[in-house]
Amino acid sequence: MARKVFYDDEARRRVIGGAQALYNAVKVTLGPKGRNVVISKSYGKPTITHDGVTVAESVELPEADDDSLGYKVGAELIK
Protein backbone atom coordinates (compact mmCIF):
# COMPACT_ATOMS: atom_id res chain seq x y z
CA MET A 1 0.00 0.00 0.00
CA ALA A 2 1.33 3.40 -0.93
CA ARG A 3 1.82 5.96 1.82
CA LYS A 4 0.18 9.35 1.70
CA VAL A 5 2.24 12.33 2.76
CA PHE A 6 0.71 15.70 3.58
CA TYR A 7 2.52 19.03 3.73
CA ASP A 8 1.97 22.54 5.07
CA ASP A 9 -1.64 23.63 5.61
CA GLU A 10 -3.13 20.22 4.83
CA ALA A 11 -0.90 18.50 7.40
CA ARG A 12 -1.60 21.18 10.01
CA ARG A 13 -5.35 20.92 9.41
CA ARG A 14 -5.28 17.16 9.97
CA VAL A 15 -3.18 17.33 13.16
CA ILE A 16 -5.38 20.08 14.58
CA GLY A 17 -8.48 18.07 13.65
CA GLY A 18 -7.24 15.16 15.75
CA ALA A 19 -6.43 17.44 18.67
CA GLN A 20 -9.91 18.97 18.47
CA ALA A 21 -11.54 15.52 18.41
CA LEU A 22 -9.70 14.61 21.62
CA TYR A 23 -10.55 17.98 23.19
CA ASN A 24 -14.24 17.52 22.41
CA ALA A 25 -14.22 14.16 24.21
CA VAL A 26 -12.39 15.49 27.28
CA LYS A 27 -13.94 18.95 27.69
CA VAL A 28 -17.19 17.69 29.25
CA THR A 29 -15.22 16.29 32.22
CA LEU A 30 -13.43 19.54 33.07
CA GLY A 31 -14.28 21.97 35.83
CA PRO A 32 -16.41 21.80 38.95
CA LYS A 33 -19.51 20.96 36.90
CA GLY A 34 -17.77 18.24 34.90
CA ARG A 35 -20.03 15.48 33.68
CA ASN A 36 -19.62 11.73 33.84
CA VAL A 37 -18.60 9.84 30.71
CA VAL A 38 -19.31 6.21 29.83
CA ILE A 39 -16.38 4.44 28.16
CA SER A 40 -17.33 1.34 26.22
CA LYS A 41 -14.76 -1.38 25.69
CA SER A 42 -14.74 -4.40 23.41
CA TYR A 43 -14.47 -6.59 26.51
CA GLY A 44 -15.99 -6.39 29.98
CA LYS A 45 -18.30 -3.82 31.48
CA PRO A 46 -18.39 -0.17 30.44
CA THR A 47 -16.54 2.28 32.69
CA ILE A 48 -18.19 5.41 34.12
CA THR A 49 -15.74 8.18 34.97
CA HIS A 50 -15.33 11.95 35.13
CA ASP A 51 -11.54 11.80 34.88
CA GLY A 52 -10.26 13.58 31.77
CA VAL A 53 -7.03 11.58 31.63
CA THR A 54 -8.92 8.29 31.54
CA VAL A 55 -11.16 9.62 28.79
CA ALA A 56 -8.17 10.88 26.78
CA GLU A 57 -6.38 7.53 27.06
CA SER A 58 -9.53 5.71 25.92
CA VAL A 59 -10.08 7.75 22.76
CA GLU A 60 -9.20 5.83 19.61
CA LEU A 61 -9.49 7.65 16.30
CA PRO A 62 -9.87 5.39 13.27
CA GLU A 63 -8.07 6.24 10.06
CA ALA A 64 -10.49 4.37 7.84
CA ASP A 65 -10.88 6.90 5.04
CA ASP A 66 -8.80 9.61 3.40
CA ASP A 67 -10.59 12.41 5.26
CA SER A 68 -9.45 11.21 8.69
CA LEU A 69 -5.82 10.43 7.87
CA GLY A 70 -3.52 12.27 10.24
CA TYR A 71 -6.11 12.85 12.97
CA LYS A 72 -4.58 10.11 15.08
CA VAL A 73 -1.26 11.99 15.12
CA GLY A 74 -2.89 15.10 16.60
CA ALA A 75 -4.64 13.11 19.31
CA GLU A 76 -1.46 11.24 20.23
CA LEU A 77 0.47 14.53 20.53
CA ILE A 78 -2.00 15.76 23.13
CA LYS A 79 -1.98 12.50 25.10
- pLDDT, one tens digit per residue, over 29-40 is 998 888 999 999
Closest CA to 60 of 36, 35, 34, 42: 42
Angle at 27 between CA 67 and CA 31, to 5 degrees: 175
Angle at 21 between CA 5 and CA 55, to 5 degrees: 125
Q: Is residue 3 part of a domain?
A: no
Structural domains in the chain (count) = 1
Q: Is residue 51 part of a domain?
A: yes
Query: Widest CA span of the chain, in angstroms?
Result: 48
Instruction: Say which range, 26-30, 38-42, 69-73, has the weakest mean pLDDT.
Output: 69-73
Q: Is residue 31 part of a domain?
A: yes
Rounded CA-CA distance 79/77 in Å is 6
Q: Is residue 16 part of a domain?
A: yes
Q: Is residue 54 part of a domain?
A: yes
- Whole-model pTM: value is 0.75
